[in-house]
Amino acid sequence: MNSFSSYRRHLYALLAVYILTGCQENTSKAVDNTKSIGIRETGGNSSLDKSPLDMAYYPVDYPKLKMTGSAKDLLIARIIYSRPSVDERQIFGTLLKYGKPWRLGANEATEIEFFQEVNIQDKHIGIGRYVLYCKPYESKWRLILNNDLHTWGLKIDSTKDLYYFDMPVIHLAAPKEVFTMEFNKTQNGADLIVSWDSVKIQLPITFSTNQP
Amino acid sequence: MHIIILQNISGHLKSNRLFREFNKNFNSKETARYDLWNIFNCKFYYFYVLNIRFMKPFSICFGIVILLFTSSVYGQTKLPPLDKSPMDMSYYPANYPVLKIQNKLNEPLIARIIYSRPQKNGRTVYGELVEYGKIWRLGANEATEIEFYKDVQLSGNKLKKGRYTIYAIPVEEKWTIIFNKETDIWGAFQYDVKKDVLRVDAKIEKTDPVDAYSMYFEKVTGGANLIIAWDDTKAMIPFSF
């Protein structure tokens, strides 16, 4: 009996805690928002980025291959992007609204450069640098190549869209905490694999690998 | 009963931002201590204040012990860290992409540098980690890349627009900065002097300690400086356009 009433007291207390912390969570969320727009500062600021920049090459690890003298194929592509973490947030449908443009990463718009001519689906893509962004939907992603380079990813000028490709969403057995983009060799080229949280997409890129 | 409630609480804790921050930054021993701080500071202060009149001292202790236990479990489920020396980039004009979306650009795009950022971590940097008189990739991982979107002048030499790998040979009193046309390469291990495009001297200054290796551009009259700052040293490479 005594233990039951003490349990009830716990419940009241817990309720009070929920109410009180409810306000606190709201304020901490407000702080989060300003941070996520966060502008990477320059100048003497030496703090590191929460969503660090990274790059991926095709051929995979091209700089290392080059260093060890084993780069046999031509350099085809490089992607430069920032890597946010899931951080226990609900990503698709919540943090990233379906149908709304997403910079495929964080901070600056994601940049892809082709050093050779390539084909994606039935489109011929010329040598050069492009912004790559995405409109995610529940069952497919629309990947878009765009010409508006050197922009912060929150505002991409869609009038400069060049090509788009719809790719089906593949569900992952093991969730991916950190947003990742990588190339994977295929028979006629390479797939660009984009994965985060519980999904991934594969964008097949074809090209001829002439010897340098 | 206690356990059920406290597990609820620890679920709350897990979603608490501060808790996660601490978890990332401290090892598990320290984490436990910071959890307690966190508990009293943010969440459960009210809980104990409300209960303290009714609860026996014994059950208070019980609660704290269980909290410590659960938090040490969370201490072990740390996520694998990102790159130790993460990549970063800097533009000239500084923050060009942000200025662009804010429609605040008043200068054309001149330069961009992509580099990786090692941290001092209590080590002696110059003369030991970065050896004097030896070629250095100016960062970590891939060799540092600089791109000019316009032709520029460095110490009276013209450098054509394009993408270069940038290296340094630091000695105590001055650094030699090297622009090399072998791009997309790892480190300075295969540095080829035949692919040099330009060598210039950088001015060296002492600075307040900088923990994370930093490269950035700063506007000066008649052009800009590329600044390399790490530890107690700042190198400046002036250029005009």
What tens digit of pLDDT does each residue of A31-60 get? 333 333 344 444 444 577 889 999 999 999
How many other CB atoms are there within 10 angstroms of residue B117's CB atom? 24
Q: Is A175 on the interface with B (CB under 8 A)?
A: no
Least confident of A67-76, A162-171, B77-86: B77-86
Mean pLDDT, residues B55-76: 44
- Chain A CB contacts of B94 under 8 Å are 42-43
- Please indicate whether, in this complex, the C-beta atoms of B94 and A54 are within 8 angstroms of each other: no
Give me the pLDDT at residue A49, please.
85
Mean pLDDT, residues B200-222: 96
Where are chain B's structural domains? 2-76, 87-239
How many other CB atoms are there within 10 angstroms of residue B191's CB atom? 19
Give me the pLDDT at residue B173, please.
87
Give me the pLDDT at residue A14, please.
54
- Chain B CB contacts of A21 under 8 Å are 12, 42-43, 46
Interface of A with B in 181-210 (CB under 8 A): none
Beta bridge partners of A205: A120, A190
Mean pLDDT of all residues belonging to chain A: 84
Confidence bin at A12 (pLDDT 50/70/90): low
Q: Which of B16, B19, B46 to mutate to test the interface with A (most CBs of A within 10 A)?
A: B46
- Chain A CB contacts of B190 under 8 Å are 66-67, 69
Give me the pLDDT at residue B145, please.
98
Option in A16, A87, A150 nearest B46 (CB): A16
Q: Calculate how close chain B gets to A166, using CA atoms only, in Å.
A: 27
Where are chain A's structural domains? 1-36, 53-206
- Give the torsion through C-alpha atoms of B47, B50, B51, B54, to 10 deg: -170
Per DSSP, chain B holds a count of helices (H) and strands (E) of 6, 9
Give me the pLDDT at residue A29, please.
33
pLDDT 10s digits, B119-141: 999 999 999 999 999 999 999 99
Nearest to B137 by CA among B122, B120, B115: B115
Q: Is A42 on the interface with B (CB under 8 A)?
A: yes
Q: Could you tell me the pTM of the whole model?
A: 0.73
Q: Is A93 on the interface with B (CB under 8 A)?
A: no
Interface confidence: ipTM more than 0.90 = no
Nearest to A117 by CA among A102, A104, A128, A106: A128
Residue B217 above 50 pLDDT?
A: yes
**8 Å CB contact between B89 and B200:** no
The 3-state secondary structure of B158-209 reads EECCEEEEEEEEECCCCEEEEEECCCCCECCCCCCHHHEEEEEEEEEEEEEE
Residue A132 above 90 pLDDT?
A: yes
- Please indicate whether, in this complex, the C-beta atoms of B184 and A52 are within 8 angstroms of each other: no
Give me the pLDDT at residue A195, please.
96
Option in B5, B83, B218 nearest A10 (CB): B5
Give me the pLDDT at residue A38, please.
40
pLDDT 10s digits, B11-59: 344 444 444 443 443 333 333 333 433 443 333 322 332 333 444 454 4
- Please indicate whether, in this complex, the C-beta atoms of A64 and B8 are within 8 angstroms of each other: no
Give me the pLDDT at residue B227, please.
97
Residue A100 has what DSSP assignment?
S
**8 Å CB contact between A143 and A105:** no
Give me the pLDDT at residue A211, please.
56
**8 Å CB contact between A34 and B65:** no
- Chain B CB contacts of A28 under 8 Å are 17-18
Q: How far is CA B161 from CA A51, B18, B181, B225, B237, in A?
A: 30, 46, 12, 17, 17
Tokens 């074809």 locate to: A206
- Chain A CB contacts of B208 under 8 Å are 44
**8 Å CB contact between A165 and A157:** no
Interface of A with B in 113-132 (CB under 8 A): none
Identify the closest residue of chain A to B88 by CA–CA distance: A53
Mean pLDDT, residues A151-171: 96
